[in-house]
Structure 1
Amino acid sequence: MIKKILIANRGEIALRVIRACREMGIRSVAVYSQADADSMHVRLADEAYCVGKPRSADSYLKIDQIIAAAEVAGVDAIHPGYGFLAENAHFNEVCRSSGFEFIGPSPQAMEKLGDKNTARKMAIENEVPVVPGSDGLIENDADAIATAAKIGYPVLIKATAGGGGKGMRVAEDEASLATAFSQARKEAEAAFGNGGCYLEKYIGSPRHIEVQVIADNYGNVCHLFERDCSVQRRHQKLIEEAPSPSLPADRREAICAAAVRMIKGAEYSNAATVEFIVDADNNFYFIEVNARIQVEHPVSEMVTGVDLIREQIRVAGGEKLSFTQDQIECRGVAMECRINAENPDKNFQPNPGKILKIFIPGGLGVRFDSHVYAGYTVPAYYDSMIGKLIVYRSTREEAIATMRRALMELQVEGIATTASFHDQVLQHAEFVEGRHDTKFVEREFLS
């Protein structure tokens, strides 16, 4: 039985885990940087320890400091949240070797799935469709040219350790391939310390569909249906919803089954998200597995009634899933808008600073997951997201109407936010009709 958990994260996800702990009768321990001393997760945790200076490299990424805090606090387990060290297999191993349960998959499963090239091979082995591409990493320009000629242009160069769009380039023809390949490798090496890249056939303007999966240590694997994350800017998700408005029932069943096969084949336990792209003919192709809880997990919680953080903790504590697949139904429609401290009128320039006043929207079907409050200063050192506005209604039409109403109610003074931009997206015909793809925002709003 887990009795005390340290949350190795900050902001809204740290607060989300603290809330789950409190409901389960588990004591929570927060860690924080000097810049986060006044953050709400620090105030609401049962205990809190400073782990360093403002920069994440000097605090939230300092494994030794986090382990030291866990030892002083005497915790049983560590929840990594998302971002920072959440998918760091070394941190995972250090937690376990130090006597703390890591609330996530095994280091071995995390390492395998964290490498996109290895994960691609695992997908093929488990009969999960993949985009046509190279058999392994591309070593030089000659191999890149030969592979591209085989699969056909345009091609997508992808970093094997990539994420967030880093280490990705599109080559339209042979003339541009060498330059794009070199740029992708350099960017990947700088961002991840691993310049390995592979090639895939480029699927133009796809939809981005991901499947929420959770597994226990007894071989039970369940999906919580899919989320549509196609509203993106520079590969960063802006609006997510469940279920997808454009996926036929037979394709939904097939994509969810494929995600379960992938997780079973990886001998994986705890929460994961299996990501796919879907083309105009509803053919789907595996992209990657996120071996952690996702930012957008609330939309899956709303349509299934499953508390994913609670299940994560139960699984890490050695318990079986509290449900079987046939007990999970997808009911209604949930939608999430990421509210960032950015100015949409200035090319989404980050806008950290002090929040002078804030009014949180409410009413039927509205949830706001956030760590901010009036008087809180949004630091300049971290991700600009200050909250997630989530709605749940019976139909998609109702969900859009409720989200627009909630966005209007959300009042933040002192900093700029992306709320008004979300409202523009929600009014666009392509979004209203569910015809949007991953290029929708760039095409309709940023061109």
Structure 2
Amino acid sequence: MKGNIFHIIKILLVLQSYLYGQVFTELKGLDDEDENTHLFYRIYKNGSGMGYDWYTRNIRHWDLTSNSDSIKMVDDFSSYFMAGQTILDYEFLSNDPDSIVGVGYSTDVLEPLPLITGAITNNDFGFSFHNTLSGIAISSQNSNLVYIDNHGNLIYSTNQGKVWFTPWEPDPVFIEFGIYAVDKWNDKKLFGHFDNKLVLSNDSGYTKTVIDSTIFYSDFDVEFFFDPDTSYIYLLNNRYSQKNLMVSSNGGYSWDEKFAAPVNIEFSNNAANTGEAYLAINDTIYRSYDHFQNYEFYIKLDENCVGLYKKPNSDLLYAATYYNIYEIENGIKTSIKEILVSVDETKKNPLDFILLQNYPNPFNPSTIIKFTVAEALNASTTNVLLKVYDILGNEISVLVDEQKSPGTYEVEFDSKSVNRRISNGIYFYRLEAGNFTQSRKMILLK
């Protein structure tokens, strides 16, 4: 009964609230055994009502064949209850779109609890564990074999989550190996992070070797893509302040950096055609047929890209921007899903300054802060200052301090990039632009 009352109050809170805005923030995809395409995307919405803030960032499943579109996993938070759940990573069992598995944490009055949801719901590990499950990797050869990153430590299951182990069972000693991916062709070969470095194990995590010393903060900032040629692997590292695409031509034992930029980049490769891959930098997509040894301009989008999916065995590419999901064929794009705005020009020249709620919130270790800059009177730009403070008002970080043209922007705050150690708790971020000033609250939960 208590749960039903909370659910009713939550609905009333949303109905009696002001919606600040909504944007697409992610796009993934897969083709099932019948080659039907399934897209998985998130729409970030946030607002306030009755004196409280809320946001939703649910994972939605869109079956393009049946045109069914529904929420697959809930990702939301309400300051009314100080409760919600955050999905940090998700994968699929046996490449089945209905067998999605998500990991993260739930929050109940600021107490984080480890979360597994979807096709696996067993959260009883039988031993002590940390409060955040931040990454998941499932074997392509054996869907019973599931690895989870338990706050930088490796645990695994050989029966789809019914029983969990550490690599040194029966003594439940955690292995410091944050899982990124299982090699598509060899499920004893794992890629992960340790001490902010990229590491590789050839024996299911018992031992590991550092293969790259580039900073790798957390597993949900890093994605692996496996080429049909087993020698080639792509690595997309969207770490704080510097994003890069790396390619290995020897099965992951050494890496070459192909792209580096201080902006968000998105990537997808053709799983059926070796060498074919696509990279989006802001609103421009590039294409390569030789593992990005060379590349060419492919298409320019209307807004910044937030996700790509290349359909195998076809000419189709799917791309999500803030306001559209496009189907692209032979360089021609068609919007197949759109977030409508009341005035179209607000995409480019917003009428108001707006500081949106960060997402995810609570967060660990990083979060995205989005804001819009209005058109200034008698000037083409506005000086924008965005800072983070602790609960005592001490300055923690300066995220933005520069002139900005009218438009929508987002910036990442990574708690690990701060010069001094910061602990769990409440922090504030403050936007100053012209005569506009607004602050919002965010919560760090490690």
- The structure richer in helix per residue is 1
TM surpasses 0.5: no
Larger RCO: 1 or 2 (CA < 8 Å, sep 6+): 1
TM-score of the pair, normalised by structure 2: 0.31
